[in-house]
Structure 1
Amino acid sequence: MTELDITRILLVDDHPMMRRGLRDLLELEPDLEPVGEAGSGPDAIRLASELEPDLILLDLNMPGMDGLETLKRLRDDEVDARIIMFTVSDDQSHVLEALRNGADGYLLKDMDAEHLVAQIRQAAQGKLALSPELTMVLAEAIRERPKTSTQVQASSLTKREKDVLRWIAKGQSNKMIARKLDITEGTVKVHVKRLLNKLGMRSRTEAAVWVVENQLL
């Protein structure tokens, strides 16, 4: 029997009832584990550092430090968890800004519970989580994606860096990459942070797209 790969999730929303509902929903799933709750941006940044979750479900509209600013701060702090914006806003500018600043997904709060869980699992597997009605916005985000990373040539990466990138592109968690490469999870985290800095990227999703574009798979 194979070991179940658990996705540890931090819930960030300024409404306690929303956090409670999400926690109750996720606790029903054997592979999804809510490990913490934050009601503000500063609390989210602190808990992300303390708990090191695999995934952060982040509300957009919060008083004080909003979700976009929190997202930027998390990426500036080199938090490598997958981050999904979870909001009522389908404003195109919000979607684009979130994706450009390192979000791994953008989900609307009016989606049904089953679909939400499926999208969270998709993000946990390294894929982009996106509400269906936002697909055209994603296409525009990809077209307008900053090209700073193209200055880095695939040939400049070490063999180990390419190995890590390939597993990222296949949606593997740090834990699974460590097993595949027979190194520690801490070493994988160091590699991932260095790679994102080297490529000028803010999320694993961007890195996965870069791997496909450069035919490294």
Structure 2
Amino acid sequence: MTSSVLLIDDHPLFRSGVAQLVQGDPDLTLAGQAGDGPAGIALALSLKPDLVLIDLNMKQMNGIEVLRALKAAGCAARCVMLTVSDDGKDVLEAMRAGADGYLLKDLEPEELCLNIKRAVLGSTVIESCLAGLLVDALKAPPQVDVGSLTEREREILGLLVDGMSNKQIARVLGIADTTVKVHIKHLLRKLNVRSRLEAAVWGFQNPQFRLAQAPG
């Protein structure tokens, strides 16, 4: 079964190139494309694609505003930013707004398709070259309640650092997806962060609070 992709980008030539790339991949289908935020939001809500690729710097409505509008409207699609901006603050703002990934437009075509597929399956996708920028943006972390982290939450923190999706974590730990979601919700609250990616960055910086996978 193929995964459907919607493109929202105000650069016609780039959008056309990505559309051709998606159409040429046997595992992907092009749900549609829009040249501005409002049109993209309307298409996302009507077409219900599996994933939406959103440009960050658009004139009428920027990508963060589009992302927030989609989340507020209850859009179930995975949302990944595809942009030229490698500013750590932009990465952080996108993740805090609920983005499921942040990719740069100079990514190799095969890597873009691979990351789209990973995002559809539940992984948070971000280029390795941006990880350091995100860490820098998080250098002044808020007060966290690490003392109350449970053993299970510390296990899940370690698996988030490994880049696992909820389904993968559930499979590794032998628990339900819904249980993983509850644990992650508690984990985010205790670490005082807004996204699983921020939690993963925090866990990477603080390995002493992670636990290795419990023996099966």
Q: Which residue of 1 aligns with 2:103?
A: 106
Q: Which residue of 2 aligns with 1:13?
A: 9
Deviations 1:45-89 (A, max 9, x none): 9948x9595x643211334321133345567889998754212x3
In the aligned structure 2, how far is the partner of 1:35 from the partner of 1:187? Answer: 33
SS in 2 for 1:186: helix
Pairing 1:147–2:144 present: no
Q: What is the identity, as a one-letter code, of the residue corresponding to 1:178?
A: A
Equivalent residues in 2 for 1:195-210, closer than 5 Å: 195-210=187-202
* Alignment TM-score, normalising by the size of structure 2: 0.64
* Alignment TM-score, normalising by the size of structure 1: 0.63
Q: 2:161 aligns with which of 169, 173, 179?
A: 169
Identity %: 36
SS in 1 for 2:152: helix
Pairing 1:69–2:62 present: no
In the aligned structure 2, how far is the partner of 1:113 from the partner of 1:119? Answer: 10
Equivalent residues in 2 for 1:17-56, closer than 5 Å: 21-26=17-22, 28-29=24-25, 33=28, 36-37=31-32, 39=34, 40-41=36-37, 43-44=40-41, 47=44, 53=50, 56=52
Inter-CA distance 22–127: structure 2 relative to 1 (3 Å threshold): closer
Inter-CA distance 191–173: structure 2 relative to 1 (3 Å threshold): same
Q: Give 1:113 shift.
A: 1.4
Contact 2:91 2:134 in 1 (8 A): yes
Unmatched 5+ stretches in structure 1 = none
SS in 1 for 2:171: helix
Q: Give 1:167 shift.
A: 2.0
Q: What is the identity, as a one-letter code, of the residue corresponding to 1:105?
A: Y
Contact 1:165 1:211 in 2 (8 A): yes
Q: Which residue of 2 aligns with 1:129?
A: 127
Q: What is the identity, as a one-letter code, of the residue corresponding to 2:180?
A: V
Q: Give 1:192 shift.
A: 2.9
In the aligned structure 2, how far is the partner of 1:179 from the partner of 1:113? Answer: 31
SS in 2 for 1:148: coil
Which protein is bigger by CA-based radius of gyration?
2
Q: Give 1:170 shift.
A: 1.4
Inter-CA distance 174–96: structure 2 relative to 1 (3 Å threshold): same
Q: Give 1:98 shift.
A: 1.9
Q: Which residue of 1 aligns with 2:214?
A: none
**RMSD of Structure 2 on Structure 1 (CA):** 4.2
Aligned residues: 200
